[in-house]
Amino acid sequence: MRTIGHFIGGREVKGTSGRFADVFEPMTGTVQAQVALASKAELRAAVENAKAAQPEWGATNPQRRVRVLMKFLELVARDNDALAELLAREHGKTIPDAKGDILRGVEVVEFALPAVLTAEKGLNEPRYPALKGIMAAKKKPLEVKPVALAESGLEVLQLSYPPERKEGRIVGEGPDGVPALVEALRAEAKVL
């Protein structure tokens, strides 16, 4: 039976936790592989490796980055049939559906190549309200317009505001915040 490990630091790594989860083939319901569940040490190694690799990749000129993406496209084209077979087996799709999914992924990369990219400093930094901005917003008049619908076959049963959202919180800064975020997603949001 095929065993799926981890990919850390540009190489395949077998899982060391001793825990595995079955990978089912949706079309038959049979177990087709087992995926290794990562230990805390393996997760930490992956995060540390990504943190260490990011500065070099961030300093890589765009032309070299595009070459990497072009090589990716070349490999996807070369192994398209094998990828479609794998995708069909693991997700219960037909081969044409799987090839369509692959093509849509390729289109995302091709759209970006070649491209002129710009970014603003601080684009990914969170914006926190400042007292000056809050006070300026309080002085600005708020115009409330009545809701009216044009003639149509639509019947409005109810209009209401969306539910209040819980206040957000910062769980860490930059790459150092990743373990805290993972723990919050696991323990509080229960999505991991």
The number of folded domains in the chain is 2
Q: Is residue 30 part of a domain?
A: yes
Question: What stretch of H or E contains 19?
Answer: none
Note down the domain range covering 111: 60-120
Q: Is residue 12 part of a domain?
A: yes
Residues 78 and 114 placed together within one structural domain of the fold? yes
In the chain, % of residues over pLDDT 90? 29
Top pLDDT among 61 and 6 is at: 6
Q: Is residue 99 part of a domain?
A: yes
Segment 125-136 shows an average pLDDT of 76
Comparing 13-27, 64-78, 110-124, 141-155, the range with the smallest average pLDDT is 110-124
Q: Is residue 13 part of a domain?
A: yes
Q: Is residue 132 part of a domain?
A: no
Judged by DSSP in three states, 8 sits in strand
Q: Is residue 187 part of a domain?
A: no
DSSP of 129-146: --HHHHHHHHHS------
